[in-house]
Structure 1
Amino acid sequence: MAVTAEPIPSHVSALDYVIGPALDQGHDVALYAPLMFRREARRRGVEFHRAGTDWTCDRTVQHTASDHWTAAGNASFNGYVFGRLWPDRAEAKARDLIAAWTRTRPDLVIAECSDLGAHLAARVLGLPVLAADNGLGPLLLDLWDTDIAPALTRLYKEHDQDTPTLPEMLTPAPVDWFYETLPHLPSRSPRAVRRTVAKDRTDLTEWRETSAARPLVYASLGTLATAMSGLRPTVEAMYREIVAALLAVDCEAIVSAGDLAEHLHSPDPRITIVRHVPQPALLHRADLFVTHGGRASLLDAVQATTPVLGMGILADQPGNVDAFARRGLGRALDPAATRDEIAGVMAVVLGDPAHAAAMTAAEAELARLPLPDFTALRDSS
């Protein structure tokens, strides 16, 4: 079985719901991805084959994408990144995969939903293929007819293929959680399957004991915006407002800020600032999660039954946190919210047991989803 990923730091962990069950079912799994994911493949015990480049690490690409977000907002960012940049990079990825899969033909391809080159390569070679939703599925469907398919048409014609289409999609959550606001769904709606995470993300080996008298707040704004050099000042400013808000709330807190942690300081020992933590494990100890609203982070929160305060920054994140707020799983704030606004919403969520109850119900719904059966999926593709 071949699994593919595109060069976004968190994207292999977002595919654990595919990789883990495939290994448990005895399948041979190989990850075809840019070089940045070689270590991630080794940690999961799967073969690694280099395919595509680490193009998202290019500073010019990052600055141009950041400029779209800063100057014209998230819609402009999405149109540029997913409607132009991603289709432009599909040709190189497809070329690598066609060469690799001609030598060693997989029985089934599970391609990240945004891996447009992998979708084409599987189609050219007549391989069974499914798209794995990494959180961008609703956004891709929304842009498909207007931006993505037209941008891919020339490349598809060069390979003697008809109109570009998105393969049937697997999604690790009930379909209506994230797809309910789309004007239309494809003829085959995404297939909801159970979500699993890698074992190394569930082990909390280092833990600072907290006071049972105070709630614990965990804050993290993810890896994507932090990795984009043009957005780092915005994200750093958000972290500073969050830390200032935490000082005004009667709680203990852990703030995970990646390499921005060295620029953040708290005068209060109740607040610990770190680079990284095993997030799923820590969330089981937390009473509130302040998050950027990436799909994986929100599902980590559901599985830990931890209410969220979402501050969606870019791509699918604003829509994700709005969807969770509508379901009563927490609250949403604008990324430009002030420390007073953040502190006020923190206090409201911590003081309202309805959010925790809604999370408990959501976790039960998520747990009822079936594990993916890859033999059956291959035979039906």
Structure 2
Amino acid sequence: MALRVAITAEPVPSHVSALDYVIGPSLEQGHRLALHAPLMFRREARLRGVDFHRAGTNWTCAPGVQQTAGTVWKRYGNGAFNRYVFGHLWTELAGRKAQDLLASWTRTRPDLVIAECSDFGAHLAARVLGLPLVAADNGLGPVLVDLWDSDIAPALSALHKQYELPAPALPPMVTPAPVDWFHETTPPGTRAVRRTVARFRTVLPDRLAPAPTARPLVYVSLGTLTTAMASLRTVVEGLYQEVMAALSATGCHAIVSAGELARHLRTTDSRITVVEHVPQPALLHHADLFVTHAGRGSLLDAVQGGTPVLAMGVLGDQPGNAAAFARLGLGQALDLTATRGEMADAITTVLGAPRYGAAVRAADAALSELPTFDPVESRDTLV
């Protein structure tokens, strides 16, 4: 039986890609999907062949929002940044998103809602209408669990009272990796499913196909959000420059993907190619090492590409993700304050130690053993 499935996303550039593990299997199983998201994701919906309905705004792109969030991060650290963003900004915008979704879902009632775990407006709208709801972990699941009782639930309480709902609670969650990779304890109702990526992200353009060489290939990307936030660009640009200097010292070939910052990055080393964007999952099948900001999607791309990581978490869930992958033996983690010499040493160590590659291959096998996401099963366990 084909279900009418509503998918929701919040306005962070990588967040639709983070939901491909529920979008892809749902399409393959013949269900009818509609993405309810800010306008920035209209093209992403078209690329995946799903309907698009505008819900919410591109509020994360507002200069004032980015400036304030970046200032909090720089002055007070990542913990304060997370509390401000998820306990204040995200919860403050939930009411507007809920209104859009209530109007849309009242006209056309979905059989199942798959909402980002951080999309509190979608959680609210589904509960108001009594719709089966499952949260898709976009990588922020561990952060939300940590902050739920202290910051997030209290901030959402007034909104829930407005709609005469019980106290806020995270809905049952699916996550695209073994739960213990990122969660120290399993949140209630959380289950792991197999990770998939959109097909168009698995094709590597000829211009980026690496030429045969005895030198290792290192791929560098510090993420879409960190390069898009104007208030963080100086920090991130400086980090890119340090990484590139470290790569020159090691003699590796490298492809550096830096989004809008690419035009500002300069190097005299012909072995380093700087580009704006690449189909990351495709390129990682050719790379020997991935220097990454440790976003959840990027780390799982590395596992499925068979590529060890040097992880340098910047904000949000990233520092915790970097530490988790280091504990799992899938690479090494460094602080943002690491010197180029420390980076070069870490790059050399990971490239020279076969145990990291073996650990990544074992992790990829563990991912492939997880069950595929099934919307009907998810719906049936909720009704």
TM interval, short-chain normalised: over 0.9
Aligned residue for 1:168? 172
Partner Cα distance (2:145, 2:353) in 1: 35
Q: Does residue 281 of structure 1 match 2:274?
A: no
Which one-letter code corresponds to 2:180 in the other structure?
D
Matched, 1:265 2:269: no
Q: Superposed, which structure 2 residues align to 1:291-310 within 5 Å? A: 291-310=292-311
| Aligned AA (1:243) | M
- The aligned amino acid for 1:364 is A
Partner of 2:376: 375
Aligned equivalent of 2:124: 120
Q: Is the 8 A contact 2:228 2:260 kept in 1?
A: no
1:205 Cα deviation (Å)?
1.8
Would you say the 8 A contact 1:141–1:185 is kept in 2?
no
1:351 and 2:352 are equivalent in the alignment: yes
Q: Output the aligned Cα RMSD.
A: 0.8
1:238 equivalent in alignment to 2:242: no
Q: Give the 5 Å matches for 1:222-233.
A: 222-233=223-234
SS of the aligned residue for 1:29 comes to: strand
Matched, 1:31 2:31: no
| Whole-angstrom distance in 1 between the partners of 2:62 and 2:210 | 41
Distance in 2 between residues matched to 1:297 and 1:18, nearest whole Å: 17
- Aligned position for 2:197: 197
Match of 2:252 in 1: 251
Correspondence for 1:313: 314
CA distance in 1, matches of 2:253, 2:243: 13
Q: Confirm or deny: 8 A CA contact 2:113 2:132 kept in the other structure.
A: yes
Counterpart pick for 2:13 among 9, 12, 17: 9
Which runs of no fewer than 5 residues in structure 2 stay unpaired? none
Report deviation, 1:209: 3.3
* Superposed displacement of residue 208, structure 1: 4.3
Aligned pairs for 1:96-115 within 5 A: 96-115=100-119
SS at match of 1:286: coil
2:30 maps to amino acid: G
Output the amino acid matched with 2:181.
W
Distance in 2, matches of 1:102 and 1:147, equals 30
Contact kept in structure 1, 2:290 and 2:309, CA below 8 Å: yes
- Deviation sequence 1:218-262 (CA, Å, 0-9, x none): 000011111111101000000000110110012111000011011
The C-alpha deviation readout for 1:84-118, integer Å capped at 9, x for no partner, is: 11000000000110111000000000000000000
TM-score, length-scaled by structure 1: 0.98
- Name the SS of the counterpart of 1:179 in structure 2: coil
The separation in 2 between residues aligned to 1:42 and 1:334, in whole angstroms, is 38
Rounded to whole Å, the distance in 1 between the matches of 2:356 and 2:205 is 29
Q: Retained in 1: the 8 A contact 2:257–2:275?
A: yes
Using the TM superposition, give the Cα deviation of residue 336 of structure 1 relative to its aligned residue in structure 2, in angstroms: 1.9
Q: Contact between 2:7 and 2:35, CA under 8 Å: does it hold in 1?
A: yes
> Identical aligned pairs, as a percentage?
66
Q: 1:145-184, aligned counterparts within 5 Å? A: 145-180=149-184
State the distance in 2 between where 1:3 and 1:354 align. 39
Distance 1:209 1:165 in 2: 48
Residue from 46, 65, 71 that aligns with 1:61: 65
Native 8 Å contact 2:6 2:35 kept in 1: yes
1:98–1:121: 8 Å Cα contact kept in structure 2? yes
For residue 115 of structure 2, what is the amino acid of its counterpart?
A
| 1:170-194 superposed Cα distances (whole Å, 9 cap, x missing partner) | 00000000002xxx54432x11000
> 1:2-52 CA deviation, whole Å, 9 max, x = no partner?
000000000000000011100000000000000000010011000000000
Question: Contact 2:179–2:186 at 8 Å: present in 1 too?
Answer: no
Give the letter aligned to residue 77 of structure 2.
Answer: G
Distance 1:187 1:280 in 2: 31
- Residue type of the partner of 1:169? M
Partners of 1:342 and 1:33 lie apart in 2 by: 38
Instruction: Return the offset for 1:211.
Output: 4.0
Distance 1:272 1:177 in 2: 32
Q: Secondary structure at the match of 1:170?
A: strand
Task: Find the counterpart in structure 2 of residue 143 from structure 1.
Answer: 147
Letter of the 2:363 counterpart: A
| CA distance in structure 2 between the partners assigned to 1:199 and 1:313 by the alignment | 28
- Which sections of structure 1, spanning at least 5 residues, go unmatched? none
* Amino acid aligned to 2:70: S
Contact 1:210-1:216 within 8 A present in 2 as well: no
Q: Is 2:210 the partner of 1:216?
A: no
Q: Contact between 2:172 and 2:188, CA under 8 Å: does it hold in 1?
A: no
8 Å CA contact retained: 2:294, 2:312 = yes
Distance 1:161 1:145 in 2: 17
How many residues are paired up?
377
In structure 2, the residue corresponding to 1:248 is in which secondary structure?
A: helix
